[in-house]
Structure 1
């Protein structure tokens, strides 16, 4: 497959909708790649950032060998499942719940312990656990996340306790990701950090969204506290990748 300039493929991912905004994030942040089966006149388009993929087009136009380079969580119409399964017989469906913060939901007040994380916080994030490290993936790495100036967090005794950020940035929506380190859970830090990110997203004129799995009761609880409203159920396909267990 061939790489092309992301902005050339916008019609394939229009209209933008809440959920995994992989293409929009690649286009707007420069992190990630867009692939096509041929150029010009592509028949298949794959947007990818750090193991998160959105696939569009005609699955009959690409064989499983063309997908061998990819692994991760795939946003694709259901007709893509046979070719994904041909590429990885163990591909599994990961059910997702998509929610949007209504305009009527209040912006949470600032929390005194939450602040913008900066490149000076690299040492504090050196202790980030393996279970939480995914939070920086769509920004390249921890350094990229901090350089972007999008992460809000709580630092306790020089170590990161919780982080929230826009995991995907679109033109209308921004999807929030949040993690709290094991020793700091059940203290309201996820809610506080996500509340600060909601304020940032709204200040940019965008709409906050929230994606999680039906069995992730902690994540769903935070979303409910913040006022997110369910808009649809969806699915991602785990391609050569294990489905995470709820934290």
Structure 2
């Protein structure tokens, strides 16, 4: 794919459904924040367009002109696309692994979450960037959609459970911010899981999202039981399922010509 300039809102709505939960929020988030990249099969009057952010890609349009070379820049991502793109994706990458996903929206009152007295649940602020970074590589995905720890800490879209030493124990944040829905992500340090810290952070974040006039949504793997249970306890209910595809490395030119 060829990298292109961000489309205007009218062009965005032509290619991507807007104002809906799930992968649609990715295009809106990239348009609003500038974090991510836009792609097309050709710079003028494209027939296929993609948007990428934080390892996720949404691909729309027609696959007719998509060659393996054109699709190669999307390697290593998780691609959400309709079934008509699967032959082109399968020919372009050495691996195409389906992941079943679930989209939830906030529809019920959350379960109460009591946290220890020494723990404070509050907004992340720019001064928390080092503490976000200290969560380590296992949590690096959490800030990727905001450009890294500093971007997440300064975003105004994250809540954290913070211990008395200033250590972050759990974080809930808007991962992708759409025009109507904000997709929620959460991380808890391994030694503080099952302490209701994530639920407390999610509940506070959802109140914030509602105050902005938006609706919280949740996106997780069908097989992630812990995420599904947290979503349910936080008041989210399932609205639909879909599949995205983890793509591997581009196929070699030798294989293409064989």
TM-score (norm 1): 0.91
Tell me which residue corresponds to 1:117: 124
Q: 2:30 matched to 1:16?
A: no
Q: 2:134 matched to 1:127?
A: yes
Q: How far apart, CA to CA, are the structure 2 residues paired with 1:200 and 1:30?
A: 22
1:107–1:6: structure 2 CA closer, same or farther, 3 Å change rule? Answer: farther
In the TM superposition, what is the alpha-carbon distance from 1:161 to its structure 2 partner? 0.9
Tell me which residue corresponds to 2:191: 183
Q: Deviations over 1:187-211 (max 9, x none)?
A: 0111111111101110111111011
Q: How far apart, CA to CA, are the structure 2 residues paired with 1:51 and 1:60?
A: 24
Give the alignment of 1:43-82 within 5 angstroms.
Answer: 43-70=47-74, 71-82=76-87
Tell me which residue corresponds to 1:5: 6
| Count of matched residue pairs | 240
8 Å contact from structure 1 (residues 116, 149) kept in 2: yes
Say which one has the larger Rg: 2
1:154–1:210: structure 2 CA closer, same or farther, 3 Å change rule? Answer: same
8 Å contact from structure 2 (residues 123, 158) kept in 1: yes
Q: Deviations over 1:168-223 (max 9, x none)?
A: 10001110000001011010111111111101110111111011112211111111
Q: How far apart, CA to CA, are the structure 2 residues paired with 1:131 and 1:5?
A: 30
Q: 2:228 matched to 1:228?
A: no
TM-score (norm 2): 0.87
1:36–1:125: structure 2 CA closer, same or farther, 3 Å change rule? Answer: same
8 Å contact from structure 2 (residues 110, 233) kept in 1: no
Q: How far apart, CA to CA, are the structure 2 residues paired with 1:185 and 1:145?
A: 22
8 Å contact from structure 1 (residues 97, 212) kept in 2: yes
Tell me which residue corresponds to 1:32: 36
Q: How far apart, CA to CA, are the structure 1 residues paired with 2:3 and 2:245?
A: 23
Tell me which residue corresponds to 1:92: 97
In the TM superposition, what is the alpha-carbon distance from 1:166 to its structure 2 partner? 0.6
Tell me which residue corresponds to 2:146: 139
When the two chains are superposed, the root-mean-square deviation of aligned CA atoms in Å is 2.0
What are the ranges of 5 or more consecutive residues in structure 1 without an aligned counterpart? 242-247
SS in 1 for 2:58: strand
8 Å contact from structure 1 (residues 4, 36) kept in 2: no
What are the ranges of 5 or more consecutive residues in structure 2 without an aligned counterpart? 250-258
8 Å contact from structure 1 (residues 124, 155) kept in 2: no
